[in-house]
Amino acid sequence: MEALYSKLDAVYDEIVEIRRHLHQNPELSFEEVETPKYIAAFHEKLGHKVRTNVGGNGVVAYLEGAHDGPTVALRADFDALPIHEETNLEFQSVNPGVMHACGHDGHTATLLGLAKVLNQMQDELKGNVVFIHQHAEELPPGGAKPMIDDGCLEGVDVIFGTHLQSQTPLGELNYAKKELQASSDAFEITVKGRGGHGAAPHNTKDSILIASQLVVNLQQIVSRRIDPLDPAVISVCSFDAKGPYNVIQDTAEIKGTVRALSEEVRTQIEEEIEQVVKGTVMLSGADYDYDFQRGYPVTINHEEQVEFAMDCAKDVPGVNEIKEVSPIMGGEDYSYYLQKVKGAYFFTGAQPEGVDDPYPHHHPKFDIDEKALLTAAKVLGKTTLEYMEQN
């Protein structure tokens, strides 16, 4: 593997340059135009077969090895978030209100750098590599499913991917053998009451009071209706009933998110929310609209593949510690790939050097240590070559 490592070391400055270019020019989910062009041009320059507009704005590139063997897919996402950047970096976003605040610029730079090196090793490859550059991870319904429907996994035997983590120490890898991330769903509830003067609440059906009761009652689903051994989250994140200080509004709207680690609990919560809404609202003689929007399913690793990847990572330069961790309740549409083919997804520590309390993902001051990109590339590269060698 020394040849892989040395070649990646040689292109590290280019990987950083790519990351900074993408960071400076972020594009929102489903609005990516220049980013996929940049990615496609990079692969085309290497001589790779390239498909564009895959499932929307996705890009898929193909590298055929000189020898027969399995086809390994590697995935990186490239969309940004509707956040105004406050990092003051030299390469801070030039698009007001848009920022790479989740590391997707780093994911893409990692994969492009690795693609260049694997291209240099084409004569040695005992199989093929599919580079999946995915749009719109941040915004359901996401880019993974339409890319899969458009054939990005055709002929693929296994898939590997990683996510940079700003709050995990540099050099540390985190993994889970099965469930790694939760399902991610959303709900909207509109309480339809009857407004009136704030001085005469008895003549109204107070939508604000009813919605406030709902916020409290919804918490009883997880605490009293879901098995305590089944992790789940219901969070009300928006409450909207704007109006003058002395007017009770006709309607109040609440929005929130639901997270679970099993399809059974996910379905149960969807049904339980409506029962709570119906009971709470009807008790007050009001009406309601309820909409439950299914997002990404649970991200479930394949045990054999994640153990293989972490075993490969043990002696990779830059990897200091490998930890099995509990699942997190964040969602990720990488889950769709793992429903179709065997594979693994893991986290790569990218905590900025000298920062004891780094900003979390989706924060306007989010940043990463760019050395993590090299670590991620080496782990994914070694895993790819070892998989080809052993299969």
Query: Which of the listed residues 273, 296, 319 is the one where a domain comes to its end?
Result: 296
The tens-digit pLDDT sequence of the chain (391 residues) is: 999 999 999 999 999 999 999 999 999 999 999 999 999 999 999 999 999 999 999 999 999 999 999 999 999 999 999 999 999 999 999 999 999 999 999 999 999 999 999 999 999 999 999 999 999 999 999 999 999 999 999 999 999 999 999 999 999 999 999 999 999 999 999 999 999 999 999 999 999 999 999 999 999 999 999 999 999 999 999 999 999 999 999 999 999 999 999 999 999 999 999 999 999 999 999 999 999 999 999 999 999 999 999 999 999 999 999 999 999 999 999 999 999 999 999 999 999 999 999 999 999 999 999 999 999 999 999 999 999 999 9
- The CATH number of whichever domain residue 137 belongs to comes to 3.40.630.10
User: Which of 243, 270, 296 is a domain's end point?
Assistant: 296
**How far apart (Å, rounded) are the C-alpha atoms in residues 382 and 387?**
8
Boundary-marking domain end, from 296, 315, 342: 296
Write down the catalytic residue from 27, 32, 79, 206: 79
Q: Express each pLDDT in 190-204 by its tens digit.
A: 999 999 999 999 999
Question: In degrees rounded to 5, what are phi and psi of residue 101?
Answer: -105, 20
324 and 291 both lie in a single domain: no
266 and 311 housed in the same domain: no
For residues 163 and 361, the answer to whether their CB atoms sit within 8 Å is no
CATH code, domain with 283 = 3.30.70.360
Task: Please check whether residues 172 and 206 belong to one and the same domain.
Answer: no
DSSP string, 307-365: HHHHHHHTT-TT--EEEE---BS---TTHHHHHHSEEEEEEEE-PPTT-SSPPPTT-TT
Q: Are residues 288 and 316 in the same domain?
A: no
Q: Do 289 and 268 fall into the same domain? A: yes
pLDDT at 197: 95
Can you give the residue range of the structural domain that contains 190? 183-296
**Angle formed by the axes of helices 12-24 and 104-120, to 10°?**
140
Same domain? For 75 and 106 the reply is yes
CB 362 within 8 A of CB 83: yes
Do residues 191 and 279 share a domain?
yes
Residue bearing tokens 């220049």? 34
Residues 233 and 314 in one domain: no
Instruction: Tell me the two tokens of residue 264.
Output: 């059974």
For 344, residues 6+ apart whose C-beta sits below 8 A from its C-beta are 159, 160, 161, 175, 301, 302, 305, 306, 308, 309
Q: Are residues 21 and 163 in the same domain?
A: yes
Q: Say if residue 24 is in the same domain as residue 124.
A: yes
Give the pLDDT confidence score for residue 58 in this predicted structure: 98
User: Is residue 112 located within the same domain as residue 157?
Assistant: yes
User: What's the total number of domains in the chain?
Assistant: 2
Q: Which two tokens stand for residue 68?
A: 């027969």
Residue 108: the pLDDT is 98
* First-last CA distance in the chain: 17
Assess whether 138 and 190 both reside in one domain. no
Of the residues 85, 137, 157, 367, which is catalytic?
137
Is 389 considered catalytic here? no
Residues pairing with 322 in the sheet: 173
63 beta partners: 129
| 112 neighbors 20 (Cβ within 8 angstroms) | no
- 137 is annotated as an active-site residue: yes
* 287 strand-pairing partners: 192
* pLDDT value for 137: 98
Gap between the Cα atoms of 214 and 273, Å rounded: 10
Question: 50: which residues sit within 8 A by CB, 6+ positions away?
Answer: 40, 43, 44, 59, 60, 61, 62
